Amino acid sequence: MDGVCRRVGSTFAILRPMTEWTDETAEWYASKYGEYPTNRLAIAALALDPEAIIVDIGCGTGAALRQAAPQVTQGRLIGIDPIDRMVEIARERCRAHPHGARIEIRQGPAEALPVEDGVADLVLAFDSYDHWNDTAAGFAEVRRILRPQGRLVVVKDGGIPGDRAGFIAALAPAGFEIREERQLSEDDVSCMMWVCEVAR
Answer whether residue 8 is part of any domain.
no
Partners of residue 5 on adjacent β-strands: 14
Whether residue 125 lies inside any domain: the answer is: yes
Say yes or no to pLDDT of 2 above 60: no
Phi-psi region of 175 (alpha: psi -120 to 50; beta: other; left: phi over 0): left
Q: Is 22 within the bounds of a domain?
A: no
Q: At 162, is the pLDDT very low, low, confident or very high (cuts 50, 70, 90)?
A: low
Query: Which pLDDT belongs to residue 161?
Result: 58
User: What φ, ψ does residue 53 adopt, rounded to 5°?
Assistant: -105, 115
Task: Evaluate whether 25 touches 80 at the Cβ level (below 8 Å).
Answer: no
Within 13 Å, how many C-alpha atoms sit on residue 84's CB side? 3
Write down the H helix ranges in the chain: 23-33, 37-45, 63-68, 84-95, 135-145, 164-171
CATH code of residue 57: 3.40.50.150
| Residue 81 domain-assigned (yes or no) | yes
Residue 161 falls inside a structural domain? yes
Q: Report yes or no on 61 lying in a domain.
A: yes
Whether this prediction's pTM lies above 0.85 is answered by yes
Residue 10: its H or E element: none
d(CA 144, CA 148): 10
Q: Domain containing 168: what range?
A: 36-198
Q: Is residue 77 part of a domain?
A: yes
Q: What is the pLDDT of residues 45-56, one digit of tens each?
A: 999 999 999 999
Q: Is residue 30 part of a domain?
A: no
Q: Please give the C-alpha separations between residue 123 and each of 20, 55, 67, 90, in angstroms, as whole numbers.
A: 24, 5, 15, 18
pLDDT value of position 175: 95
Q: How many domains does the chain have?
A: 1
Gap between the Cα atoms of 183 and 112, Å rounded: 30
